[in-house]
Amino acid sequence: MKLVLANNQSEEFTSFHKDLQGTEKIYDYSGYSALGFYFQQGVSDIINTDTWRHARDYKGVYINGYLSTPEIAGTVATVLDHNGVNYVNKEMSNVLSLSKLSSYAKLARHDVTIPKTYGGAAKAIIRMIDKGIVKLDGKYVLKRADADRGIDNFVFDTLDEVKERLAGQPERSIWLLQEFIPNDGFYLASFYYDELKFGIFRSMHERADGRKDRAHMFKPKGGSNATLLQPSDLPKTVSEESFKAVHAMNRQIASVDSVYDPSQNKAYVLEVNYNPQLVTIETFKEVRQKAFLEGIELL
Domain over 185-296 is classified CATH 3.30.470.20: yes
pTM strictly above 0.85? yes
Q: In the prediction, which pLDDT does 203 show? A: 83
Question: Pick the residue with more confidence: 197 or 172?
Answer: 197
Q: If pLDDT is split at 50, 70 and 90, which confidence band does 281 have?
A: low
pLDDT per residue as tens digits for the range 8-65: 999 999 999 999 998 889 999 999 999 999 999 999 999 999 999 999 999 999 999 8
Q: What is the mean pLDDT of residues 166-183?
A: 92
Decide: 63 and 5 in contact? Cβ < 8 Å: yes
Rounded to the nearest 5°, which phi and psi values hold at 151?
-70, 135
- Which of 11, 79, 70, 67 has its CA nearest to residue 39? 79
Q: Is the pLDDT of residue 199 over 90?
A: yes
Q: What is the DSSP letter of 91?
A: G
Q: What is the DSSP letter of 186?
A: E
- State the CB neighbour count (10 A cutoff) for residue 20: 11
Which residue spans within 89-184 are E strands per DSSP? 117-121, 140-144, 153-156, 174-179
**H/E segment holding residue 16:** helix 11-21
Q: In the prediction, which pLDDT does 215 show? A: 55
pLDDT per residue as tens digits for the range 207-266: 666 576 675 665 656 567 789 999 999 999 999 999 999 999 999 999 999 999 888 899
**H/E segment holding residue 28:** strand 27-30
Cα distances from 47 to residues 3, 34, 162, 222, in angstroms, run 12, 8, 19, 42
Annotated domain spans of the chain = 2-179, 185-296
